[in-house]
Amino acid sequence: MKRFAIAECRVSIAQVLTSGFWLLASAALLLSSACNTLPVGYDQLGDRVTGTADTTLLPDSASSYARYVPLGGSSILHLGRDTSYVSRLVLRFSILDTMNLDSITSFQLVLHQRDTLATMSFICRPCSSEWTESGVSWRMADSFNHWLTPGGDFLPDTLATGTMAGDSAMINFRYAGLDSALQATIRNCGIGIFPQDTGFVVIHSGVSTTTAPRLRVTYTNSGKQTQRVINDIADASLIDTVATRSQPFDLLVGSGVAFRTWLSFNIDSIPAEATIARADLKFKPETKYRRTETIVLGASRLTESFSLKGAYARYENLPSSYATYVVPADSDSVVTIDIRSLVQLWTGRSDTLHNYGLLITASPEWSELFRLRIPRSGPNAPTLEIQYVRPPEDRFK
> Residues 257 to 286: which contact another protein by CB under 8 A?
272-273, 275, 277-278
Residue with Cβ nearer another protein (182 or 389): 389
Count CB atoms within 10 A of the CB of residue 319.
23
- Judged by DSSP in three states, 9 sits in helix
Binder of another protein out of 37, 100, 180, 210 (CB under 8 A): 37
Q: How far is the CB of 19 from another protein (least distance, A)?
A: 16
C-alpha to C-alpha distance for 331 and 326, rounded to whole angstroms: 9
By the rule CB under 8 A, 45 interacts with another protein: yes
Does residue 392 bind another protein (CB under 8 A)?
yes
Q: Are 124 and 186 in contact (CB under 8 A)?
A: no
- Spatial separation of the C-alpha atoms in residues 78 and 168, rounded to whole Å: 14
> Taking the complex as a whole, how short is the minimal distance between the CB of residue 267 and another protein, in angstroms?
15
Q: Which stretch binds another protein (CB under 8 A): 39-47, 151-159, 168-176, 359-367?
A: 39-47
Is 336 a binding residue for another protein by CB under 8 A? The answer is no
d(CA 214, CA 92): 10
Render 149-217 in DSSP notation, one character per residue: STT--B-S---EEEEE-TTEEEEE---TTS-HHHHHHHHHH-EEEEE-SSEEEEEE-TTSTTTS-EEEE
Return the SS3 of 129.
Answer: coil
Output 199 or 391, the one with its CB closest to another protein: 391
* Contact window for another protein (CB under 8 A) among 174-182, 189-197, 302-310, 341-349: 341-349
Q: Is 326 in the site for another protein (CB under 8 A)?
A: no
Binding mask 345-364 for another protein (x = CB under 8 A): ---xx---------------
Question: How far apart are alpha carbons 40 and 191 in whole angstroms?
Answer: 70
Does the protein bind another protein through residue 394 (CB under 8 A)?
Answer: yes
CB of 121 to another protein, least distance (A): 50
Q: Counting contacts by CB under 8 A, is residue 166 touching another protein? A: no
Q: 293 and 372 in contact (C-beta within 8 Å)? A: no
The answer to whether residue 249 forms part of the interface with another protein (CB under 8 A) is no
Q: Which residues are within 8 A (CB) of 151 and not within 5 positions of it... i.e. 6 or more apart?
A: 86, 88, 138, 238, 240
In whole angstroms, how close is the CB of 346 to another protein at the nearest point?
11
Question: Which range binds another protein by CB under 8 A, 127-135, 206-214, 323-331, 387-395?
Answer: 387-395
Quick check: 144 binds another protein (CB under 8 A)?
A: no
Q: Does 25 bind another protein (CB under 8 A)?
A: no
118 binds another protein per the rule CB under 8 A:
no
Number of residues binding to another protein, judged by CB under 8 A: 35
- Whole-number Å distance between alpha carbons of 186 and 159: 10
Rounded distance, CA 153 to CA 141, Å? Answer: 9
Residue selected from 1, 5, 13, 38 as contacting another protein according to rule CB under 8 A: 38
- Helix, strand, or coil here: 306? helix
Nearer to another protein, 123 or 345 (CB): 345
- What is the DSSP-derived secondary structure letter of residue 369? P
Cβ closer to another protein: 310 or 391? 391
According to CB under 8 A, which residues from 48 to 107 bind another protein?
Answer: 48-49, 52
Distances (CA, A) of 49 to 29, 37, 52, 277, 343: 31, 18, 9, 14, 22
Contact 55, 279 (CB under 8 A): no
Q: Which residues bind another protein (CB under 8 A)?
A: 30-31, 33-34, 36-49, 52, 272-273, 275, 277-278, 340, 344, 348-349, 387, 389, 391-392, 394-396
